[in-house]
Amino acid sequence: MKKFLSIAMLIALLAVMMPASMVNAQGGEDYTVQADDWLSKLADKFYGDVNAYWAIMSATNQANADDPSYVKITNPDVVEVGSKLRIPSSDEAVAFMADFSPEDAQIEKLFASGAEGQLLAGNWWTSTGEFAAINAVYDIYRQEYPEVELIHAGLAGGGGVNFKGANLNKLIAGDPFDVFQLHVGLEAELYSPEEFLRPLDDILAETGALDVMPPDLTDLLKIRGNSYTVPMNIHRGNVMWTNTRLLEQAGVEVPTTFEEFFAVCDQLQSQGIVPLGMGIADGFELAHTFEVVLAGTVGAENTKGLFNGTVSWTDPGVTEALENYGKVLDCTNEDRSAGNWVQGIALVINDQAAFSIMGDWAYGEVIGFDATDYVTWNSPPGNQGQFFLVSDGFAIPKEAPNPENARRFIEIITRKDAQEAFNKLKGSICARTDCDYSDFGPGSAYFQGSADDFATNAIIPMVTHGSGAIPSWQDQFYQIATQFASDRDVASAQAALVLAAEDAGYPQQ
């Protein structure tokens, strides 16, 4: 061991002593990670370019494919002391970097291809709960197809705010992922499905998945006769997460109406407690909150009516909803711009806020941080009996580089075992109706309750999460909700909502 260490140290010492270009002109070398090393620091040392750490990651992963004594780097920020790296020569590093753009999510270049190729899985699941959940599916895939190099291409940004544009660019450029995440419903329109996506009706039929999915979900799958999305879950978009410890301490009850909510908000604020934990930095959270407040104010049928042209956005209920939305925002933490939805629920988990209104992906964080015994759930004000449907699925691009591996992935996500493994960590219920929630760990009661509610509540496909409106309308909805949060101008927000509906093809009176 000592000998090994001293050789490693000698190599490291040589690397420090020799000018980087000389060391590397000889065709690269091995390097053992020392305390206080990190990849960009090494890239700076060897190439004078902090960004060239991608070249080291790629070369090391390629080396690992032939010789497992090299470490496999899946996250460039985490490389353990003692790991063996392959440091490519300067020429190799320069050539790699000339061809590589992290912004274009060319992540596949960072990994070797397995004997049966790669599976590039594009998605935006990067938070604690989100990653744990999708990783449970990867585990199944890796176990069943060990020869495939499965690559998690996770691009942070809740609701897919960053992922969707990057993914569209890749599709247009003819450089797509093998499978990518999208919401069930109209979101597929964003990707010009007839041009870029493969219909997946055969997989849905062959696996029997269609027979075990609820009609509220299957109704959303077809776009001009074809299904491009295979669902794996049903999230509930409208939940008010509640810190029972803080409520007890403050001596307040869970409010059910807006009137009660605003009274509780005053009481909590007077005791120095943040009533509603919120983070808005991902860009979807304000629209999300407005949509939940809208339904809580005008009811489920009117909410659906506003998005299908049967109720006008000039309705006084919309005015009232905007007023309620403004008052709800006044109950949030002042630094809400600094964080995203993860920080919003973290305030509840960390006893810093009494409530947070967020979809049940937030329960994935509650589970991930072991907070299920004091963080519980309630309906947001006025939302009783309403269930905002948010469903995640995957699609296969027509030009997927590894289409067979992609099909295998889609087949797996239709399965009961995969959906159970995924959803018990994600906070959602299965897209199938035959999952057994009694075995969903400490969160079992939540999942069973959500499944029961889904079966009995009014189901509203959520616009903020791609199911209830075409993408351009969804965009305008985001913008209006965001603008309102800063100017609080009810009349102009309502006028903009009217125009957005007209743009989407629904004339308003």
* Residue 338 and residue 279 in contact, taking contact as beta carbons nearer than 8 Å: yes
Q: Is the dihedral of CA 355, 356, 359, 364 positive or negative?
A: negative
Q: How near is the Cβ of 157 to ligand GAL at its closest, in Å? A: 8
Residues binding ligand GAL: what is the number (CB under 6 A)? 12
Which C-beta is closer to ligand GAL: that of 170 or that of 235? 235
Q: Other CB atoms closer than 10 Å to residue 357's CB: what's the count? A: 29
Residue 173 structure tokens: 């450029």
What lies within 8 Å, CB to CB, of 181 at 6+ separation is 122, 123, 124, 125, 160, 163, 392, 393, 394
Contacts of 413 by beta carbon, 8 Å cutoff, 6+ apart:
137, 230, 232, 393, 394, 419, 422
Q: Which stretch binds ligand GAL (CB under 6 A): 143-151, 155-163, 258-266, 368-376?
A: 155-163
Of the candidate residues 46, 361, 377, 422, the single one contacting ligand GAL (CB under 6 A) = 361
Give the residue with the Cβ less far from ligand GAL, 361 or 477.
361
Output the smallest distance, CB 182 to ligand GAL, in A: 9
Q: Judged by CB under 6 A, which stretch of 134-142, 152-160, 171-179, 442-450 contacts ligand GAL?
A: 152-160
In 3D space, the residue among 124, 59, 63, 108 whose CA is nearest the CA of residue 88 turns out to be: 59
User: Residue 28 or residue 160: which is nearer to ligand GAL going by CB?
Assistant: 160
Cβ-closest residue to ligand GAL? 158
Q: How far is the CB of 443 from ligand GAL (least distance, A)?
A: 16
Residues 6+ away with beta carbon under 8 Å from 132: 364, 368, 425
Query: Is 461 an interacting residue with respect to ligand GAL (CB under 6 A)?
Result: no
Query: Among 86, 152, 164, 465, which residue interacts with ligand GAL (rule: CB under 6 A)?
Result: 465
Pick 324 or 340: Cβ nearer ligand GAL = 340
Beta strands 29-32 and 84-87 are antiparallel
Say how far apart CA 77 and CA 108 lie, in whole Å: 17
Query: Under the criterion CB under 6 A, does residue 159 sit at the interface with ligand GAL?
Result: yes
By the rule CB under 6 A, 285 interacts with ligand GAL? no
- Minimum Å gap between C-beta 342 and ligand GAL is 8
Residues 481 and 484: their CA atoms lie apart, in Å, by: 5
Positions in 372-411 near ligand GAL (CB under 6 A)? 390, 392
158 lies in the site for ligand GAL, by CB under 6 A: yes
Q: Toward ligand GAL, which CB reaches closer, 85 or 239? A: 239
Ranges within 221-250 binding ligand GAL (CB under 6 A):
235
Nearer to ligand GAL, 158 or 381 (CB): 158
Q: What does the buried/exposed string (b/e) look like for 463-502 if buried means 16 or more CB atoms within 10 Å of the residue's CB?
A: bbbbbbbbbebbebbbebbbebbeeeebeebbebbbebbe
Residues 474-503 that bind ligand GAL (CB under 6 A): none
Find tokens 């616009």 and name the residue.
463
Choose the stretch contacting ligand GAL; rule: CB under 6 A; options: 157-165, 257-265, 291-299, 401-409. Answer: 157-165
Q: Which stretch binds ligand GAL (CB under 6 A): 72-80, 89-97, 154-162, 393-401?
A: 154-162
CA dihedral 453, 456, 460, 466 (to 10 degrees): 50
- Residue 107 DSSP one-character state: G
Cα distance between residue 46 and residue 41, in whole Å: 9
Residues that bind ligand GAL (CB under 6 A): 124-125, 130, 158-160, 183, 235, 361, 390, 392, 465
